[in-house]
Structure 1
């Protein structure tokens, strides 16, 4: 199989240089590297110095449109989309090649972040390791696509219309593509051994903004529009129950300030939350130890809180047409 690696980039910086360096080290000479510099002349110049094919957008138009532009000039049988802030390893591209050779009926495949995130601060380690865990425990029969490490046969990509260019910011354009692929009857596989390293440094603001505004809110809209609420990845039943428990915990805690006997209920809900998510905490314990695990639990419960809040707001907006929070990121 011939493979075209397509990378949209906007203000790529040092992470993008590492991305290109990894491709230069591990991609074969036959692998086509296409970079779409989305309103980013500096990253375009850098990509050219590494020998990549470069498309330049005079202004930023978003990763969906950038990826589509790259796909139009690609010559590979398989389009392998990666983000500008990830690096590949020696096995990444060969495994993509082998997978599509061995499974001719396969339309698309997604991979996983590895378990050694590039940024060393706590939130980056937590966020990227949690993403790794989610994909490593997901169903191999995937229900969606993933633009940070996702491959698809070029003819199928063009036939289905590529990414929805109405998404102007990086959010759920890849999930939306996956939904259309599944509705059209195509197969998507989660191949857990195809891995990339994520270099992004997360802080409190960037994490909450991305999770809430760029993922949870628009994803809720997609779920309601396509009626897709499968027991997989971030939508597993354990996560849905945990959302209910977190809100029950909050209400019980507030009530316990007035009626002290309710502290037993608060404790019971906390224990239940811990038991339901024990496999997550065991994973973090083995990866980073007891102190890290204790630190990540409040963030994990906060994740359930704002995920539930986003779903509720999305439901109100979808069914009631209330302009509470604008979820159409193309506006």
Structure 2
């Protein structure tokens, strides 16, 4: 199988200048290295044009309107020529040979995606490895977090460090732009894939280094708004994807608890505002058709899920 690389960018000129040469060296056998610029206002496009003089397989897609991560990623995947698409954040650097253990996995025609082993270099000096995605239904919501650093089934694959089968991406529908500007779009995609009968794996030997820069979302939105969007998207996910009666009942029963508890815990109204944003969106939510139940999927991943504290969001 051949593959394309897709990176999305918004106002990340310095990161692109520093990292694109390293990425290009690690994926020199790719059909193309696509960078989709989400209407940046800095020098990103000029930086990319200069880099394209050196890296001939670098393809630049310049958007005329800023639309957010989901729309930008979907455009990159749609434009790609490869059977497989490697999605990378602009601050992720693959280690040499990282894709070698990934290719044999795609002999399974039901395999939609493979999540890569993200070694995250935090600003406080810690190196945090992120493993398989796991989840459990708790107090009305499907909670999710990284699980063990061992190869195996994963609830989702990160759209900042994952390999995806392009034809299935298009068939499933890609990232849902209802989650814009961010938070929850990649695990929504993974959950839909599982419920449609496809599979996702995590490969511990496929290592990438994630050297965190200050994200566009943190630069652009306040903590209150980001928290509100997280709450909004949790509710969107439930109404869109959850169909088992027992989980729907749990959601309805615990909703009053969250509306009160979250407001008291944070001493603000972020959950209420997030719920209002959800209600504004509710009529635009489109429920996909699935062939598997929620219990079938959640039972795969809930045994490994551990509550580290009492936080729900």
| TM band (smaller chain) | 0.5 to 0.7
What does residue 9 of structure 1 align with?
Answer: 9
- In structure 2, the CA distance between the partners of 1:182 and 1:167, relative to structure 1 (3 Å rule), is same
1:186 positional shift = 0.8
Which runs of no fewer than 5 residues in structure 1 stay unpaired? 230-243, 252-304
- In structure 2, the CA distance between the partners of 1:143 and 1:132, relative to structure 1 (3 Å rule), is closer
What does residue 182 of structure 1 align with?
Answer: 194
- In structure 2, the CA distance between the partners of 1:197 and 1:215, relative to structure 1 (3 Å rule), is farther
In 1: Cα distance, 2:242 partner to 2:149 partner: 20
1:81 positional shift = 0.9
What value does the CA root-mean-square deviation take over the aligned residues? 4.0
What does residue 247 of structure 2 align with?
Answer: none
What does residue 227 of structure 1 align with?
Answer: 242
The answer to whether the Cα contact below 8 Å between 2:116 and 2:206 also exists between their aligned partners in 1 is yes
The answer to whether the Cα contact below 8 Å between 2:84 and 2:163 also exists between their aligned partners in 1 is yes
Among 48, 52, 56, which residue is 1:48 paired with? 52
- In structure 2, the CA distance between the partners of 1:149 and 1:314, relative to structure 1 (3 Å rule), is same
Aligned pair 1:93/2:99, yes or no?
Answer: yes
Among 170, 185, 199, which residue is 2:211 paired with? 199
The Cα offsets for residues 171-215 of structure 1, whole Å up to 9 and x where unpaired, read as: 222222112212211111122332322222359x66956963454
Among 70, 86, 109, which residue is 2:114 paired with? 109
Which runs of no fewer than 5 residues in structure 2 stay unpaired? 133-144, 245-257, 284-313
The answer to whether the Cα contact below 8 Å between 2:92 and 2:208 also exists between their aligned partners in 1 is yes
The Cα offsets for residues 263-315 of structure 1, whole Å up to 9 and x where unpaired, read as: xxxxxxxxxxxxxxxxxxxxxxxxxxxxxxxxxxxxxxxxxx76xx9778767
1:93 positional shift = 3.0
The Cα offsets for residues 36-74 of structure 1, whole Å up to 9 and x where unpaired, read as: 111133354255243311111122222212222222221
- In structure 2, the CA distance between the partners of 1:27 and 1:170, relative to structure 1 (3 Å rule), is same
- In structure 2, the CA distance between the partners of 1:224 and 1:191, relative to structure 1 (3 Å rule), is farther
- In structure 2, the CA distance between the partners of 1:311 and 1:99, relative to structure 1 (3 Å rule), is farther
What does residue 21 of structure 2 align with?
Answer: 21
What does residue 32 of structure 2 align with?
Answer: 32
1:20 positional shift = 1.1
In 2: Cα distance, 1:228 partner to 1:129 partner: 35
The answer to whether the Cα contact below 8 Å between 2:231 and 2:275 also exists between their aligned partners in 1 is no
In 2: Cα distance, 1:316 partner to 1:88 partner: 40
| Secondary structure, aligned partner of 1:54 | strand
1:158 positional shift = 1.3
Larger radius of gyration: 1
Aligned pair 1:150/2:159, yes or no?
Answer: no
The answer to whether the Cα contact below 8 Å between 2:228 and 2:274 also exists between their aligned partners in 1 is no
With normalisation by structure 1, the TM-score equals 0.60
In 2: Cα distance, 1:314 partner to 1:191 partner: 35
In 2: Cα distance, 1:94 partner to 1:18 partner: 25
Q: Considering fraction of residues, name the structure with more strand.
A: 2
The answer to whether the Cα contact below 8 Å between 2:232 and 2:275 also exists between their aligned partners in 1 is no
In 1: Cα distance, 2:270 partner to 2:154 partner: 23
What does residue 83 of structure 1 align with?
Answer: 89
The answer to whether the Cα contact below 8 Å between 2:98 and 2:206 also exists between their aligned partners in 1 is yes
1:115 positional shift = 4.8
The Cα offsets for residues 96-115 of structure 1, whole Å up to 9 and x where unpaired, read as: 334324x3431212123215
In 2: Cα distance, 1:46 partner to 1:168 partner: 30
1:19 positional shift = 2.9
Count of residue pairs brought into register by the alignment = 247
In 1: Cα distance, 2:73 partner to 2:184 partner: 14
